[in-house]
Structure formats: structure tokens, C-alpha cells
């Protein structure tokens, strides 16, 4: 069994907590707007081949908030500095939901920062059809249940979120939602300029989407595919916004195949 560990680094003028695990070529991972959920089955499987580096977003509890970060573009600029200072570039990256938004902003500003990019149900571009779910007016438990197609039939989801939330878990979720609202409220969880900034991007890109996603509509995937020339799309049937939890076997297969090409 591969164990993960947390490391506190002083980088880009700030204090950043990074979760590390596995060995091999580095794989950078940006968690979603709910924060890092912990070391899961898909992490364990991929960590047999890759060293996973998971920065815990500023303002999400363990990493202090950075006051000058006011937008997702600012956050992307911060993470770009982190990648350069740690001498990781070019690096493979996986970004989940709002984490995909961050990765897309980074590659738009610096096309050579990533060698391969995987965006899983990414926010960041206004969908052509449908709307990104408004996650802020609803309760935390409603938000969590909306991220999977079948909350009661997903064992790893139940393990993570099925019981009563501890005060610490509730506080961490609310910290994450407060920070996501602070930097993503207006315009709501997208940058109108991002499709234009992504024009001509040559980074090999894979877009992953679950057919029962209620948070990010297929229209977001379609707009990303238009914006990034040659982007591939992989759909996973019957899962929602968290394919890595709902069908980790299929998710790992798709991701590993793309990274090894």
C-alpha cells in the first residue's frame, strides 16, 4: 500500500501544503472546489507508476489564504510560479472541476508549462448549452450528493461523505466554498476570455466527463473542445461529476492510456 504525506513548502512567496505520494514521473493534480478529499483508490493505483503532487489550494484550510489572489486567473498565476520554482515544468497535470479551470488558465498563459493536460468535468468556460450548477445557495450535503449519480450506490462516496460530518469536516467544506465564492462568484466559475486565450494551444489534452453530471453540463466540454485544437473527449457512462470515485477502474484506464501515449 502506498502512503501519502503532507509537506509544507515556502514557494512563490507563500506557504503551500502539498500532498505527495508514489514514485516515478511527477503528475500534478488540482483538486476541485470542495477541496482535497483524501487519498482514494484512483490515487493509490496511479501512484504505482507516478509521483502524485497535490497542492492544497490557498484558503482551503491547511494552506493560508492569499489576499492578492482575487480570481482564478490570479490563482493560476500563483501555481505557475510554484511549478517554475519547483522546476517541474513541463509536467503532466490533472485538474478536477474548478481545478480544471486553474489548469486551463495556466496553459493559456504559458503553453509550455504542461506536457499533457487532463481536465475532468472542468469549469472555466461558459457552456454553450446548459448552466454550471450554482453551488453556493444550496446546503453542503445537497451539494455533495449532487456530485455523484447515485450517492447510496457509490461505496467510496459513502465512505467519504456518507456519515455525519464532523465539525472539522464541515468547517473545511465551508472554508472551501467561501474561497471558491470569493474568487469565482462573478462571472460565475468561468472566464469569458478563456476560450480566446486557449486558441492555438498545442498541449495534448483529454477532457473527461460523466454522462450523468449535474454540476458541469456537456456544453462545457463542447466549448473546451472547440477552444483547444485536437483535444480528445472521453465519456464515462452512468456517472456524475466524480468519475474518479464512481468508476475508478474505468477512470484510471482512460487516464493511464492517455498519459502513456
pLDDT, mean over the chain: 95
The whole-number pLDDT of residue 172 equals 86
H-type helices in 96-247, by residue range?
A: 98-109, 140-146, 155-161, 167-184, 194-197, 218-227, 243-246
Q: How many domains does the chain have?
A: 1
114: pLDDT strictly greater than 90:
yes
Domain span at 244: 5-260
122-175 pLDDT, tens digit per residue, is 999 999 899 999 999 998 889 999 999 998 889 898 888 877 777 888 888 888
- 3-state SS, residue 198: coil
Q: Look up the CATH number of the domain holding residue 193.
A: 3.40.50.1820
- 3-state SS, residue 26: strand
- Of 85, 102, 84, 71, the closest CA to residue 93 belongs to 102
**Sheet strand arrangement including 14-22:** 5-11, 14-22, 50-55, 25-30, 91-96, 114-120, 205-210, 232-236
18-53 pLDDT, tens digit per residue, is 999 999 999 999 999 999 999 999 999 999 999 999
The whole-number pLDDT of residue 165 equals 72
Phi, psi of 70 (to 5 degrees): -115, -15
The whole-number pLDDT of residue 174 equals 87
Query: Which percentage of the chain shows pLDDT scores above 90?
Result: 84
The whole-number pLDDT of residue 139 equals 87
CB 205 within 8 A of CB 108: no
Asked if the bond preceding 187 is cis, omega within 30° of 0, the reply is yes
Mean pLDDT for the stretch of residues 228-242: 97
The whole-number pLDDT of residue 182 equals 96
Amino acid at each position: 500500500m502506498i502512503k501519502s504525506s503532507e509537506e509544507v513548502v515556502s514557494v512563490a512567496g507563500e506557504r503551500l501544503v502539498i500532498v505527495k505520494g508514489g514514485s516515478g514521473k511527477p503528475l500534478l493534480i488540482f483538486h476541485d472546489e470542495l477541496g482535497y478529499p483524501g487519498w482514494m483508490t484512483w490515487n493509490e493505483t496511479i501512484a504505482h507508476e507516478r509521483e502524485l503532487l497535490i497542492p492544497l489550494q490557498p484558503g482551503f484550510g491547511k494552506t493560508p489564504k492569499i489576499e492578492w489572489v482575487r480570481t482564478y486567473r490570479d490563482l493560476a498565476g500563483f501555481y505557475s510560479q510554484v511549478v517554475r520554482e519547483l522546476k517541474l515544468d513541463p509536467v503532466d497535470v490533472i485538474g478536477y472541476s474548478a481545478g480544471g479551470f486553474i489548469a486551463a488558465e495556466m496553459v493559456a498563459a504559458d503553453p509550455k508549462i504542461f506536457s499533457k493536460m487532463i481536465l475532468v468535468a472542468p469549469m472555466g468556460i461558459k457552456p454553450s448549452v446548459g448552466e454550471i450548477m450554482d453551488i453556493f445557495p444550496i446546503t453542503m450535503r445537497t451539494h455533495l450528493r449532487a456530485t455523484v449519480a447515485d450517492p447510496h450506490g457509490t461505496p467510496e462516496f459513502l465512505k467519504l461523505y456518507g456519515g455525519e460530518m464532523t465539525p472539522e469536516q464541515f468547517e473545511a467544506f465551508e472554508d472551501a466554498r467561501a474561497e471558491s465564492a470569493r474568487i469565482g462568484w462573478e462571472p460565475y466559475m468561468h472566464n469569458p476570455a478563456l476560450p480566446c486565450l486557449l486558441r492555438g494551444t498545442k498541449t495534448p489534452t483529454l477532457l473527461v466527463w460523466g454522462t450523468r453530471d449535474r454540476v458541469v453540463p456537456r456544453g462545457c466540454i463542447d466549448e473546451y473542445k472547440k477552444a483547444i485544437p485536437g483535444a480528445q473527449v472521453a465519456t464515462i457512462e452512468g456517472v456524475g461529476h466524480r468519475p474518479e470515485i464512481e468508476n475508478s477502474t474505468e477512470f484510471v484506464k482512460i487516464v493511464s492510456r492517455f498519459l502513456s501515449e
